[in-house]
Amino acid sequence: MEKRKLGSSNLEVSALGLGCMGMSFSYGKAADKQEMIKLMRAAVEKGINFFDTAEVYGPYTNEELVGEALSPIRDQVVIATKFGFKLDPTGKEKWLGLNSRPEQIKLVAEASLKRLKVDVIDLFYQHRVDPAVPIEEVAGAVQELIKAGKVRHFGLSEAAADTIRRAHVVQPVTALQSEYSLWWRRPEKEIMPLLSELNIGFVPYSPLGKGFLAGRFDSQSTFDSTDFRSTLPRFTPEALKANQALVDLLENMAKKKHGTPAQIALAWLLAQSANLVPIPGTTKLARLDENLGALRIELTAADLREIESAAAKIEVQGDRYPKHLEAMTNR
């Protein structure tokens, strides 16, 4: 398995990680617990050592699942989790807004350590920037956790360039986790140049466009009300039909490279920077193997130019999030 270092840190991880959210949250009914434990352990056997979760996934249940699966092989894995949402103590709502007050960050860290069954959190991200708390205070709180030996590395998610820069002055940011793929390329404008300047790692989530870039959906696809995608403008029948051109692009390259659209989408991402580690999620072993196959696909400079040329002619339709969720990003 190819390894990559995230930024200037000594945090070395597999070139592909595994996003664990969908195992218990967001994409319909939670998958079978024992099957997901088997999947995560199979991923480790196949060379993946980088696993992503968050307290809000469930809430709590995904961290518990990851902890149960990986605690017996703790010395072989890197576990990332996140803080920053205000959770409803009654459980009626998934979250009630944001909360990154320093005292809350420390409480979340202690609770996550227990659920994950670890002594230290390898990478602790602020899930979304909280406008009520200066980022310097957030970075300072995580720095105290690092000094206390409870956290190893500090990360941000969906943060704006200025916020990343300000945080980095207080406590070096090891990685930024934000959405990035062929159908969401906003990070290329300001974020990726800044990450290169400051030597911060980039961990793209939804690298397969929540399954769309893998060719799994078309305009006839429907989503259950428990599936997060049912709320996303980009997953309406009209948007799915309009954006099929992106899948066609990937399918054409896949034929040339004897791969699949998902593998081409991941190979394209991996080619964008050596400082970048995508975290595709899955609940199926066959999909895990397919994703790992992306590491065997070599896209030449000519291939990348061909993809770029074709993609430039496609105007992606539909917002990626409803307005209230998009408003929580890039700030």
Mean pLDDT (10-residue bins), the chain, 331 residues: 94 98 92 98 98 96 98 97 91 84 98 98 98 98 98 98 98 98 97 98 98 94 93 96 96 98 98 97 98 98 98 96 96 96
By C-alpha distance, which of 201, 200, 196, 203 is closest to 177? 203
Which strand (E) or helix (H) includes residue 122? strand 121-126
- CB-based contacts of 234: which residues, under 8 Å, 6+ apart? 183, 209, 212, 240, 243, 316, 317, 318, 319, 320
User: Cα 140 to chain center, whole Å?
Assistant: 24
> Apex CA 25: angle with CA 149 and CA 73, to 5°?
40
The total of other beta-carbon atoms located within 10 Å of residue 156's CB is 28
Encoded tokens for 85: 């949402």
- CB-based contacts of 149: which residues, under 8 Å, 6+ apart? 119, 120
By C-alpha distance, which of 78, 50, 312 is closest to 188? 312
User: Rounded to an integer, what distance in angstroms lies between the CA atom of residue 231 and that of residue 209?
Assistant: 15
User: Rounded to an integer, what distance in angstroms lies between the CA atom of residue 267 and that of residue 299?
Assistant: 7
* Strands of 78-83's sheet in order across: 18-19, 50-52, 78-83, 121-126, 151-157, 173-179, 201-205
User: Rounded to an integer, what distance in angstroms lies between the CA atom of residue 162 and that of residue 87?
Assistant: 27
Report the pLDDT value the prediction gives residue 96, as an integer from 0 to 100: 84
The total of other beta-carbon atoms located within 10 Å of residue 325's CB is 15
Report the pLDDT value the prediction gives residue 17, as an integer from 0 to 100: 98
Report the pLDDT value the prediction gives residue 4, as an integer from 0 to 100: 98
Report the pLDDT value the prediction gives residue 10, as an integer from 0 to 100: 87
User: Cα 213 to chain center, whole Å?
Assistant: 15
Report the pLDDT value the prediction gives residue 45, as an integer from 0 to 100: 98
Q: Helices 102-116 and 135-147 meet at what angle, rounded to 10?
A: 40
Annotated catalytic sites, by residue? 57
Report the pLDDT value the prediction gives residue 44, as an integer from 0 to 100: 98
Strand partners for 2: none
By C-alpha distance, which of 84, 143, 77 is closest to 116? 77
Sorted by where each starts, the structural domains of the chain and their CATH numbers stand as 3-209+273-295 (3.20.20.100)
